[in-house]
Amino acid sequence: MAMRSLWRTLDPETLRGILTITGSAAVSGASFGAIAVATGQPLWVPITMSALVFAGGSQFLAVGVLAGGGGPVAAVLGGLVLNARHLPFGLAVGHLVGRGRVARLVGSHLLVDESVAFALAQRDPGQARAALWGCGAGLFAGWNLGTVLGALVGDLIADPAALGLDVVFPVLLLALVLPVLTGSQRQGKLRPVLVGAVVALATTPFLPAGVPVLLSLVGLFAVPRREAAAT
């Protein structure tokens, strides 16, 4: 799908949401770049990590582990555990990525929480594919540009929470999920969401950041059998 055709396929509301979350990603990326440099990492480390890993939570975790005296192995393992929640993404929206090798390679790199949420919020397959690629490409560009700027500027933007931008991601994700939970088949979709939310909330006070989100995947076992068979 050509990029120009992709943007034309998106409806104005979805496009505005993608642009908003891209701006937020740029600011968060700047925060990551600044923090990584402030903890003593060379300039190329956060820039390369953002391009190759492209997973904000895992990147912040890795930098935190290294800054705390942990080794590269501990940082990598922590990132892998945190990113294990991405495995179901391929099952949910893998058919939207494309069939060619290049499309699958690039598309799988763009399968992050926000791009998958935007795709699942669309009813039309064409819109869903455009949302997946549009959001993924926007986030990748914003995050990497922000990382470069943050690493260069230093610690001037060390905490996006100070600007209130830390709430943009969860609020947008909630806004995308709500229509799915209020549709005609909401009963079967609400159960796994509630189970996952309860597990995450119950374990948050006792476990490191990111792990409760991973454990919330147990909600998938609460999917009704008839819907699981249909998928």
Do both 80 and 189 map to the same domain? no
pTM as predicted? 0.66
Residues 199, 156 share a domain: no
Considering the domain boundaries, does residue 178 fall inside one?
no
Asked whether residue 189 falls in the same domain as residue 162, the answer is no
* Percent share of the chain, pLDDT over 70: 66
Question: Does a structural domain hold residue 134?
Answer: yes
Poorest-pLDDT segment among 29-33, 150-154, 182-186 = 182-186
Q: How many domains does the chain fold into?
A: 2
Of 144, 168, 192, at which residue does a domain stop?
A: 168
Within a domain: residue 203?
Answer: yes
pLDDT above 60 for 54: yes
29-38, 69-78, 117-126, 164-173, range with the lowest pLDDT: 164-173
Is residue 31 domain-resident?
yes
Residue 175 lies in a domain: no
Answer yes or no: are the C-beta atoms of 38 and 154 closer than 8 Å: yes
Question: Is 126 found in the same domain as 43?
Answer: yes
For 142-160, what is each residue's pLDDT tens digit?
999 999 998 888 755 555 5
Same domain? For 31 and 109 the reply is yes
Q: Is residue 156, in this structure, part of any structural domain at all?
A: yes
Instruction: Identify whether residues 135 and 199 lie together within a single domain.
Output: no
Domain end residue (candidates: 143, 168, 193): 168
Number of H helices and E strands in the chain, helices first, is: 13, 0
Give the pLDDT confidence of 65-83 residue by residue, as tens digits: 777 676 777 777 767 776 7
Both 155 and 192 in a single domain? no
Domain with 88, as residue range(s), is 3-168
Question: Dihedral (C-alpha) 91, 97, 99, 103: value to the nearest 10 degrees?
Answer: -130
Selection from 190, 56, 25 nearest residue 17 by Cα: 25
Please tell me whether residues 115 and 226 are part of one structural domain: no
Is-contact 218 196, C-beta < 8 A?
Answer: yes
Kindly state whether residue 176 falls inside one of the protein's structural domains: no
Same domain, yes or no: 206 and 147: no
Residues 134, 27 within the same domain = yes
Tokens of 153: 């500027």
